[in-house]
Chain A
Amino acid sequence: MILTRKKTLMMWEKLPFSNDIERYWQLLSVLVPQNLNTRYRGSFLGVYWSLLNPIIMTTLYTVIFGTTFASYFGDSIINYMFAAFTGLLVINFYNSATTQALSSIVINGDLLNKIKLPLPVFPLSMIAANIFQFIVGSLPLLIIVTLIKTHNILFVFSLLLPFSALVLVCTGIGLFLSALFVFFRDLGYFYEIATFIVWITSPVFYPSEIVPARVQPFLYLNPLVPIIESLRQISLDGTFPEFSHLMKGFLSGIVILTLGCLFFRKVQSSFMDLL
């Protein structure tokens, strides 16, 4: 029993693929609770603290911009509020997942110098912890909004489509950042600027219609834009999301994930010299 386990550790590349997955699964099953535990100090209710931020922000946006922008949302402040809320959930997920993934390899440097572990498991565990947090914390609220707006359980399930695209995007960026952070420890400052750009170019608190037509195509370079749009179409309009939005979301997700993986694989051999 012990023997077989240890072989997975040592003869990593020689064993079939299924053992790799098994090992990743085992590692994630201890690392994810550890991440959540550290963040919430052991209280399960702590997960709900993560909702405090989007709720306060939504309230502020609604109070400040609500009356001005309501005309773009069928003259309804409530609609504006829901739109801001869905956008914020996406942006918050993106920010916390990628920012936590950024430092994940470096903070485990000591451990990696003592035990042979698959390197990608650390950024992945951060993404997984955020997925768990989203499912427990934000998703129920999103489901309630969807049910209120659409009265159709089918739309609840289709929420998973833009969300999986979001996970792909975050995983790719998380892998890329965690690898780059090993080399450049001041990356955090630059990434703060990058997250601000992502946030301001996502139509979270403003309707995308107010952006000049010439600039609008550039907004779609932001991979989160089509994801937010399709999430809103499902939960607020109660329509099946526009195929082109979904496609753009998934396409950018797959491209970013592939690039992130390739970059990670290319540079991971030099990690241990710098940890």
Chain B
Amino acid sequence: MDQEVIRLNNVSLWRRTQEEFSYDLKRTVISFLQGKYIKPAKKQVLKDVNFVVKSGEKIGIIGSNGAGKSTLLKVICGILDPTFGTVRVRGNIAPLIELGAGFNMEMSVKDNIILYGVLLGYSKEEMKTRTNEILEFAELEEYGEVPVKALSSGMKARLGFSVATDVKPDILILDEVLSVGDAKFTHKSRERIQSLWEQSSTILFVSHSLEYVKDLCDRCIWLNHGEIAYHGNTQEAIKLYLDSVGVKEYIRPPSAL
């Protein structure tokens, strides 16, 4: 059980800041001709991040907006490559993502399920066998052949949730808690998250709901301006984080997992 599943060695990431970039060929060429071309600036978003996650650990990542939490998850998922340092991941890793808006409206519900399944890394054949299960969970059995544009927004959200959570990963990545649908489905979706939580041995959990982090995570990483400011005991991390932002006590938000 003590196997290392994620290891980050001195990971630093520099990203081009989008605001400074012109996206414009005409302007770039003109500024080149005038000799005014400036190389786009880069900003360091992650500084020397080091940590190891062992199999079975549930780790919370906290920090203020823009501290680099989601960026860190993207680096771990392999969406972004670190500028310096190395990232090693063993086992399959599944991010829980919001698919709601990403569906192809013209295509049928079934085809969308297969499309997203394949994008997420499953084979087409496998997705075909799983389509019915997913439809059943989303309570959209009668809508299999209907184009997605015919679904109500709530149904789309249910479909998105069902596709995204129909995974059995070794490492689960949760960026805020997903909860969708009407009263009945909200209950169901919480159960699904719960069971994913129990099934997946290793979890990385990014959240602003510190209460959940406190309840659910064994260890916690506090990211501050792209650096690990504290790494260790969850209670301690939350206390230090709250102190740093000048909040005395954390107030529980009006929703629950």
Q: Chain A residues in contact with chain B, CB under 8 A?
A: 1-3, 5-12, 26-27, 29-31, 33-34, 37-38, 41-42, 110-117, 183-187, 190, 269-270, 272-274
Contacts and interface: CB of A to CB of B under 8 A. Distances in A.
B94 A41 contact: no
Given A112-B79, A114-B95, A186-B24, A34 B118 contact: no
Interface in B117-172: 118-124, 126, 147, 167-170
Interface in B69-92: 74, 77-81, 89, 91-92
Given A34-B104, A110-B102, A184-B23, A7 B92 contact: yes
Nearest to B28: A184
B24 to A, nearest CB: 5
A184 B24 contact: yes
Contacts of B79: 112-116, 272
Given A10-B78, A10-B93, A37 B107 contact: yes
Contacts of B107: 34, 37-38, 42
Contact of B121 (A9, A190, A274): A9
Q: Which 9 A-B pairs have the closest CB atoms?
A: A6-B92, A184-B25, A9-B121, A273-B16, A116-B78, A114-B97, A185-B23, A30-B118, A273-B15
Contact of A187 (B25, B78, B119, B147): B25
A119 B101 CA distance: 21
A6 B93 contact: yes
Nearest to B77: A116
Contacts of A183: 23
A113 B124 contact: no
A185 B24 contact: yes
B257 to A, nearest CB: 22
Given A38-B106, A187-B25, A272-B80, A5 B126 contact: yes
Contact of B114 (A30, A37, A115): A30
Given A34-B104, A269-B81, A272-B80, A5 B74 contact: no
A269 B15 CA distance: 11
Nearest to A35: B104
A270 B16 contact: yes
Given A3-B92, A6-B93, 7 more contacts: A29-B124, A30-B118, A114-B102, A117-B119, A185-B23, A186-B24, A273-B18
Contacts of A34: 104, 107, 111, 115
Contact of A115 (B101, B111, B119, B170): B119
B26 interface: yes
B16 A274 contact: yes
Contacts of B25: 184, 186-187, 190
B121 to A, nearest CB: 4
B119 A6 contact: no
B89 A10 contact: yes
A42 B106 contact: yes
A269 B167 CA distance: 28
A267 to B, nearest CB: 12
B21 interface: yes
**Most chain B CB inside 10 Å of its own CB: which residue of A184, A270, A273:** A273
A96 B24 CA distance: 23
Contacts of B121: 5-6, 8-9
A8 to B, nearest CB: 7
Contacts of A114: 79, 95, 97-98, 102
A12 B78 CA distance: 9
Contacts of B101: 110
A6 B95 CA distance: 11
**Most chain A CB inside 10 Å of its own CB: which residue of B16, B78, B91, B95:** B78
Contacts of A31: 115
Given A27-B119, A41-B106, A113-B74, A9 B92 contact: yes
Contacts of B115: 30-31, 34
A1 to B, nearest CB: 6
A114 B26 CA distance: 31
Contacts of A110: 101-102
Contacts of B77: 10, 116
A68 to B, nearest CB: 39
Contacts of A184: 23-25, 28
A34 B95 CA distance: 23
A29 B118 contact: yes
Contact of B95 (A5, A37, A115): A115
